[in-house]
Amino acid sequence: MNRSEFEEYLKHFNNRNYKRVKEYFSDNIVLKFAGYTINGKKSFDDFYRFFHQYVDERVSARQFAGDDENVIIDAIVQLEGKRPLSRSELEEKGFGRLVLPEPGRILEIPQLIHYRIESGSFVEIRCVLKQ
């Protein structure tokens, strides 16, 4: 995958076009972040439809490396709080370790994100915090 193809994917993600985002995924996509694992397209939908009610998330790729099997980006993930979410609500959904900004606040998280590709589709997305 080249950078312009990846930027198209990222545009869909940042615009919450989940249908188009999932076109890039294998049926058994695995997303790993913050010690959590999301398995499959339905779980992706469930998590992000919940999560994006409370934050506006924007991912930007500062650096990019890609080929037919991998995309690796040095990214800034920007979270802007939209509405309050209690710790108990997060824990109830199974995401008690997440830290979300309060409404109106912005949190920028530097990450390395690895997208593993098989047969032209993302099969695994692994996010690691940068120090």
Q: What is the pLDDT along the chain (131 residues), one digit of tens a residue?
A: 999 999 999 999 999 999 999 999 999 999 999 999 999 999 999 999 999 999 999 999 999 999 999 999 999 999 999 999 988 999 998 999 998 999 999 999 999 999 999 999 999 999 999 87
Report d(CA 124, CA 25) in Å as an integer.
9
Length of the chain: 131
How is domain 3-129 classified at the CATH fold level? Nuclear Transport Factor 2; Chain: A, (3.10.450)
Q: Is 117 left (phi over 0), alpha (psi -120 to 50) or beta?
A: beta
**Residue ranges of E strands in the chain:** 25-33, 36-39, 55-66, 70-81, 106-118, 121-129
At 80, which amino acid appears? E
What is the pTM assigned to this prediction? 0.93
Q: What is the pLDDT of residues 102-129, one digit of tens each?
A: 999 999 999 999 999 999 999 999 999 9
